[in-house]
Structure 1
Amino acid sequence: MSTEQTSAANSFSYTLTRTLEAPAAKVWRAWTTAEQYARWAGAVADSVEMDVRPGGAWKATMVTPDGAQFPLTGSYLEVAENSRLVIGMDVPGKPAPAVMTLELTEQDGQRTQIVLSQTCDTTDERDMAEQGSTMLLDSLSAFLAEKAGD
């Protein structure tokens, strides 16, 4: 697995790039199947619901490393199976959702480059979102390595 991370000091955006040891379809299923997502993303079992289509809603109750739980909700803004997923995340007190974009590019049928990007409103929000996204990609990489034989 290779990792690349960029965030400009004067920008509220970040981009994370990883090469995962799995075909794009397997990465896609891990991110868009409620049962699989719950297993690797740190969500409470049976709390994940996904209607993966443009305008479809999603929700999950996430568990932090210290055991605290918090609900997340949102909708899918763009869906291109096995290649692009644009996710809106509801933010309390804000009129517009935070938007995260995932782009998958399969390499040689066995590996997939994933590029995750997001623009936030402040440097603090960017730093927290980037840390959370890095943890998600770490967990996804470990999950896919466990499922390598599937």
Structure 2
Amino acid sequence: MATEQTTTEGFSYTLERTLEAPAAAVWSAWTEAESYVQWSYAAPGSVELDVRPGGTWKATMVTPDGGQFPLTGSYSEVVENRRLVIGMDVPRKDEPALMTVELAEQGAHRTRIVVAQTCDTADERDGAEQGTTMLLDSLTAFLKAAN
């Protein structure tokens, strides 16, 4: 059973959830393009992930109404099966928006995932938090179907 906790402070949010999958499976879902495209709302063929510090990523996201928008960024921290710090390029900003994904295995088949991000405004935070919640919902369903 998935449990979830949300914390909002200033223009930051933290989402925590327990997933019914080992950390290695959750890691693969985030770091392998073939898996990522299956749950992330990315257009097939648009995902490229070079998962290493300084490595880049790109994906074209598809909105529920069929709109598409390209995203790019880089990885600033990579600790296999434990932690990703993902930067997303933001138009008209010098610094990328950073999202931290932390994994903690809880037994053989459960993983606690914590996703955190700091934004410049409350509106940005609310939009990012809504998007991340959708991603975690989709990731949960993907991992459940894979087991």
TM-score (norm 1): 0.97
Q: Specify every segment of 5 or more residues in structure 1 that has no aligned partner in the other structure, as ranges.
A: none
In structure 1, what is the Cα distance between the partners aligned to 2:81 and 2:114?
13
Q: Specify every segment of 5 or more residues in structure 2 that has no aligned partner in the other structure, as ranges.
A: none
TM-score (norm 2): 0.98
Find the residue that maps to 1:99 and give its secondary structure. Answer: strand
- The residue that corresponds to 2:60 in the other structure is 61
Q: Give every structure 1 segment of 4 or more consecutive aligned residues whose post-TM-superposition deviation is greater than 4 Å.
A: none
- The residue that corresponds to 1:45 in the other structure is 44
Find the residue that maps to 2:90 and give its secondary structure. Answer: coil
1:98-113 aligned at under 5 Å gives the runs: 98-113=97-112
Find the residue that maps to 2:104 and give its secondary structure. Answer: strand
- Opposite residue 126 of structure 1, the aligned amino acid is R
- The residue that corresponds to 1:124 in the other structure is 123
Find the residue that maps to 1:59 and give its secondary structure. Answer: strand
C-alpha deviation, 1:14, in angstroms: 0.2
Find the residue that maps to 2:138 and give its secondary structure. Answer: helix
- The residue that corresponds to 1:6 in the other structure is 7
- The residue that corresponds to 1:144 in the other structure is 143
- Opposite residue 27 of structure 1, the aligned amino acid is V
Q: State the percentage of identical aligned residues.
A: 68
